[in-house]
Amino acid sequence: MRGVLSPDSQGAAGGAALHSTLRELCKEAGKARMTESTPSRSYTWLFWTLAVLGLAADQATKYGVNAWLDRGDHQITVAGVQHPGFELVPRMFSLVRQQGLNQGALFGLGNDPEHGSKANLFFAGVSAIAVVAIVLWSIRSTVSGSWVLSAALGLILAGALGNLYDRLVFGGVRDFIWVYYESAQEGLLKFNFPVFNVADSCLCVGAAILLLHTFFTPAGPACTVKAPPPSPVKLGGASEQKP
């Protein structure tokens, strides 16, 4: 039996062609929208300004505080233990002279005296890779055109460079900022935050800005085209019989 396609089947073919055309138009519209939404203004200057200022502030405070504490007989007593340092806020905030260097990660994580040199070398390598990745990331148009991303990456770069300098020059990171809470009645530490520095602060603030921007920035509307429902193909015409 031989059949002939009905007009309904021709309509289905036309619908498929229309769907393909709409998809192409959607792609072109998406490209045009991306081109229009790409900002022409660059905030590369903000990225490098924060990176340089953060690095300068980190190194200036490290050299300055340690030199100042070394010159005088500055001692503080916290929870019955004496430390070389200067108390800025009684029982809460002090600048201290660490006896050793932090050869571990941020806030002294992984600071093991037995494997200090190896840990310091490992984290120095991680910091160097992070510095290269951040610089390459910052030159992307989607990043350089956003002042939020430029500021966040600039702060992260400042922190990474500050601690990387310490690891390469001193064999470890110099920490001096101590935040804690000592009970006046009991004379015990109720809160004891790890000693840190300005570079650590830059890293944390930059990472926090980056996370907030990632989670709270709405995504652009998606352009979707639904395929038309298939039309039934009907067979028409009279059947032919072979002689």
pLDDT, tens digit, for every residue of 55-98?
999 999 999 999 999 887 889 999 889 989 999 999 999 999 98
Q: Is 8 a catalytic site residue?
A: no
Q: Low-confidence residues of the chain, pLDDT below 50?
A: 1, 3-7, 9-10, 32-37, 237-240
Q: What pLDDT shows up at residue 36?
A: 40
Q: What pLDDT shows up at residue 182?
A: 94
Which residue in 8, 58, 70, 200 is the catalytic one?
A: 200
Q: What pLDDT shows up at residue 62?
A: 97
Q: What pLDDT shows up at residue 47?
A: 97
* Contact by Cβ (8 Å): 101, 195: no
CA-based max dimension of the chain: 121
What pTM was computed for the model? Answer: 0.72
Q: What pLDDT shows up at residue 109?
A: 65
Q: What pLDDT shows up at residue 48?
A: 98
Which residue in 8, 70, 112, 175 is the catalytic one?
A: 175
Average pLDDT of the chain to the nearest whole number: 81
CB atoms within 10 A of CB 179: 14
Q: What pLDDT shows up at residue 34?
A: 47
Q: What pLDDT shows up at residue 222?
A: 55
Starting at the edge strand found earlier in the chain, the sheet holding 75-78 runs 75-78, 81-89, 93-96, 177-182, 189-192
Q: Which tokens sit at 125?
A: 């390598």
Q: What pLDDT shows up at residue 64?
A: 96
Q: Is 175 a catalytic site residue?
A: yes
Instruction: Single out the residue of 104, 90, 95, 87 nearest to residue 66, CA to CA.
Output: 95
Angle between helices 44-71 and 147-170 (to 10 degrees): 40
